[in-house]
Structure 1
Amino acid sequence: MEDRFAGLIGTARVEADAAGRGLSVRVVSRPAANSLAEAAQVLGIEPGDIVKTLVVKRHDGDFLFALVPGGRKISWPKLRALVGVNKLQLPDASLALEATGYERGTITPLGSAREWPVFADSLVAGHEIALGAGAHGYSVFVSGSDLIASFGATVADITEPE
């Protein structure tokens, strides 16, 4: 597959993809944080409103995105059952970069170099969330429900407390 956003970098890719989907987003700059609680405080939100976008490698070599609220982690048995496979894994940082065009810590499905299926934990829907914005030092705020709808994401209980 070719890079869908050649020539655009970081937050510009996120904003271009969001606009193409008719999705309203707000990109904000933020200082680095040393913990989830610190990041939430800096952004003025609850820790559970920060959503990690994890790149997950399927057994067949393809990938998917898992949207995981802060303070939670993927429940591998739940996600494997939902996807219908026996094996899923988190790829190393270089493979995640190759799959998305984003460095770890900045990954978002918005503007990804390739569009992969999105699986969102049910806690993502129904409120505004913050997620990676494609570049270090930035977050993107978006309605979780609108993000899910714009990707036709599969929504289910795919996480457990950290």
Structure 2
Amino acid sequence: MAYWLFKTEPDTFSIDTLKQQKVSCWEGVRNYQARNMMRDDIKLGDQVLIYHSSCKDVGVVGIAEVVREAYPDHFQFDPEGPYFDPKSDLDNPRWVMVDIEYRRHLRLVSLKRIKANPVLAEMPLVKRGNRLSIMPVTEAQWQEILQMTGQF
């Protein structure tokens, strides 16, 4: 099992939306490095920190679990959709998505607190120029963030 951080803008998709839906595809990833992690590294049962960005309360807000490994992101073929990619091919899709299932809400662990914690100094999230929508998290970093919620 591996650990990940998935970033989302809560105005578009939030931890509350995931709780309501129970299971959701994680679509719309259009960065090759993030895509490669989804396609090659993210596996069934992996644990995911849900991170809200571009909002008032930026930070980790919940936990999900990967319940379906990478498969073609069908939104890349929808010419009316925001994730359409005219260069993608049905026989060799360029973009993939995974399915995640809601596990629980967490008390917010803000980006400010994450940046201030020396245990988390090596997280891609806190490094400049390295803020992908999907990022690996070490087990130690995962445990530290859970401890920071005060719930564990």
TM-score between the two structures when normalised by the length of structure 2? 0.28
Larger radius of gyration: 2
